[in-house]
Structure 1
């Protein structure tokens, strides 16, 4: 499976509509499976909520790194595989945090650092594709009052800021690269394994 990654330099809001099928093609002319990343605020309007458990809740932040993944390799798309890939992306990011010396905790698809919620995520399917949205706070600003949150820029080790504008793009690209490589490795393993 070929997966295209494109980081968009333009800052724009994630409002939940980007989880719709073929968004990468409609907005950027990208065919096939893709991972689109960008930095911008998140403010999911009620009509675009996909998780029944989130109905009535505020999902917002002033400043986040957004990942939108879309896959066309399963026809019909499979919700279970979409969620397994979502968890894989989350765990790969946690692995990278560990390499930076940042301890974290995972609860389902949520990552916590120092008790603060760092990430949000959802997976779903359409008739033609599987979609994942994964986003990480950059700062603890503009998030819901009833949720303790933390941003990447808020994380410090021995008083020193771990992430900043100088290494953020490297963090994004490394996360996507490992995710795509892992999916390719799975495809390769499938192709060389003798069935029982």
Structure 2
């Protein structure tokens, strides 16, 4: 799993979950996770979550920490499982840094009634793509929300820690499947 924290801001508009985005933009071939900061404003034509489209739900944040994950040869159900592993890792890291008890509901993180993250896993022709975003500045979000600024968490070290933890978890899963015999 290749890991990159991109220093420049990128506005997330949903186009980044296209297959091979990390290859085209950063020359990362293969499974990868790229983190960056930037606003989030997804037009309906780019929304992968059809429920959000049907409910006319706006997805917007003034500033988020974004993660774009790509796993090649990965069916959607496995991609959703990996998305939820990533969400749990992020939740655990938030709790450890703040002492606040967060709740994971599916692929989202909450602090009580406040939504902290958004996420989608979607299939492509060659891979499963995951977008996971954590609010940095949650002001003007379309739902009650909190962000990393509310918890005084710096985005870059937080991103680096959870990307490393995710890569280690996947390596551990690979090791676990290589050490068992058929029964």
TM-score (norm 1): 0.89
Question: Which of 72, 80, 84 is residue 81 of structure 2 equivalent to?
Answer: 84
Q: By how many angstroms is 1:52 displaced?
A: 1.2
SS of alignment partner, residue 80 of structure 1: helix
Question: Which of 76, 94, 98 is residue 97 of structure 1 equivalent to?
Answer: 94
Match of 1:148 in 2: 144
Q: By how many angstroms is 1:114 displaced?
A: 3.7
Instruction: Give, in whole Å, the separation in 1 of the partners of 2:122 and 2:43.
Output: 17
Match of 1:65 in 2: 65
Match of 2:164 in 1: 177
Deviation string, structure 1 residues 58-109 (Cα, Å, up to 9, x no partner): 001010000000011x3xx311000000000000111112212121111111
Match of 2:122 in 1: 124
Q: Which has the higher helix share?
A: 2
Structure 1 stretches of 4+ moved >3 Å: none
Q: Residue 65 of structure 2 contacts residue 155 of structure 2 at CA under 8 Å; is this kept in 1?
A: no
TM-score (norm 2): 0.95
Instruction: Give, in whole Å, the separation in 1 of the partners of 2:64 and 2:172.
Output: 29
Instruction: Give, in whole Å, the separation in 1 of the partners of 2:94 and 2:28.
Output: 30
Q: By how many angstroms is 1:182 displaced?
A: 0.2
* Runs of at least 5 residues in structure 2 that lack an aligned partner in the other structure: none
Q: How many residues align?
A: 180
Question: Which of 8, 13, 29 is residue 15 of structure 1 equivalent to?
Answer: 13
Match of 1:50 in 2: 48
Instruction: Give, in whole Å, the separation in 1 of the partners of 2:33 and 2:140.
Output: 26
Match of 1:111 in 2: 109
Cα RMSD of the aligned pairs, angstroms, is: 1.0
* Runs of at least 5 residues in structure 1 that lack an aligned partner in the other structure: 156-161
Q: Residue 62 of structure 1 contacts residue 141 of structure 1 at CA under 8 Å; is this kept in 2?
A: yes
